[in-house]
Amino acid sequence: MDINKYKSHDRILVAVDCIIFGFDGQQLKALLIKRGFDPERGKWSLMGGFVSPDESTDAAAARVLHQLTGLHNVYMEQLHCFSEVDRDVAGRVISVAYFALINIADYSEQLQLDHEARWFPLGKVPDLVFDHKEMVALAKDRLRQKVANHPIGFELLPGKFTLPSLQNLYEAIYEEPLDKRNFTRKILSLGILNKLEEKEKESSRKGAFYYVFDKGKYSKLHKEGVKFI
């Protein structure tokens, strides 16, 4: 192959942008930052960065996530490639978007201050730079599709949780109420939750038992092709 053919083409920048979702017990939220440089300085933005010559887009997204959250081994999934010619007013930039799920309680307040970051409910996301609002909307739709067949929603919860908090999560994702009896019967029938003896008693006098997600049991269930929710 003639290497001169490579040299004759224009250079295009490749970036990654990360849609980071969290759940506060009632609302599904997105983590946004104040943009600290031109263009669009001072406006709300997703966390992102350019891909270095020595890293893949996956590695770049993991680096960006760690910079903003301080967390490793975050659930992350490639979402879509955004490549409209005029999407970035500063130049020709192709962005590979990723969405990630974290437990809000694990997120450091100091990192939030360092990056001028803030959690926004998905229904109150402000105007964002470039095509970032489109990225958030697409990530939201992808999340809804994924949680129907995969237990990725547990990434948004603490290690132990109650059934009411789990239902709150799914109602926040789908933005509609779910019948409590049907939801509880369905989720328990899957046999992927282990009940603990401990109860959460802040929400009610009677209290609700804590559960933990059993990945081993889910793996067996998934091989059988059983729908999650």
pLDDT digits over 152-180, tens only?
999 999 999 999 999 999 999 999 999 99
Q: What is the mean pLDDT of the chain?
A: 91
Residue 229 lies in a domain: no
Given a cut of 90, whether residue 201 has pLDDT beyond it is: no
Given a cut of 60, whether residue 141 has pLDDT beyond it is: yes
Out of 128, 147, 166, a domain closes at 147
pLDDT on residue 1: 55
Strand 75-82 versus strand 93-101 pairing type: antiparallel
Q: Looking at the structure, tell me whether residues 157 and 124 fall in a common domain.
A: no
Confidence bin at 72 (pLDDT 50/70/90): confident
Whether pTM > 0.85 for this model: the answer is yes
Confidence bin at 206 (pLDDT 50/70/90): confident
pLDDT on residue 211: 96
| 116 touches 34 (CB < 8 A) | yes
**Stretch 70-89: mean pLDDT, rounded?**
94
Given a cut of 90, whether residue 82 has pLDDT beyond it is: yes
Q: Looking at the structure, tell me whether residues 28 and 137 fall in a common domain.
A: yes
Structural domain including 115 reads 4-147
CATH of the domain at 217: 1.10.10.10
| More confident site: 202 or 25 | 25
Residue 112 lies in a domain: yes
Given a cut of 70, whether residue 229 has pLDDT beyond it is: no
> Residue 127 and residue 5: Cα distance in Å, rounded?
41
Which pair of structure tokens corresponds to residue 216?
A: 């081993």
Given a cut of 80, whether residue 3 has pLDDT beyond it is: no
Q: Looking at the structure, tell me whether residues 161 and 54 fall in a common domain.
A: no
pLDDT on residue 73: 87
pLDDT on residue 94: 97
Q: Looking at the structure, tell me whether residues 41 and 120 fall in a common domain.
A: yes
Q: Looking at the structure, tell me whether residues 23 and 71 fall in a common domain.
A: yes
Residue 17, burial from CB neighbour count under 10 angstroms (0-12, 13-18, 19+): buried
Q: Looking at the structure, tell me whether residues 104 and 189 fall in a common domain.
A: no
pLDDT on residue 120: 96
Confidence bin at 109 (pLDDT 50/70/90): confident
Given a cut of 70, whether residue 118 has pLDDT beyond it is: yes
Confidence bin at 8 (pLDDT 50/70/90): confident
Residue 85 lies in a domain: yes
Out of 147, 178, 212, a domain closes at 147
CATH of the domain at 108: 3.90.79.10
Question: What is the total count of domains within the chain?
Answer: 2
Q: Looking at the structure, tell me whether residues 204 and 170 fall in a common domain.
A: yes
Best mean pLDDT range from 6-15, 107-116, 154-163, 217-226: 154-163
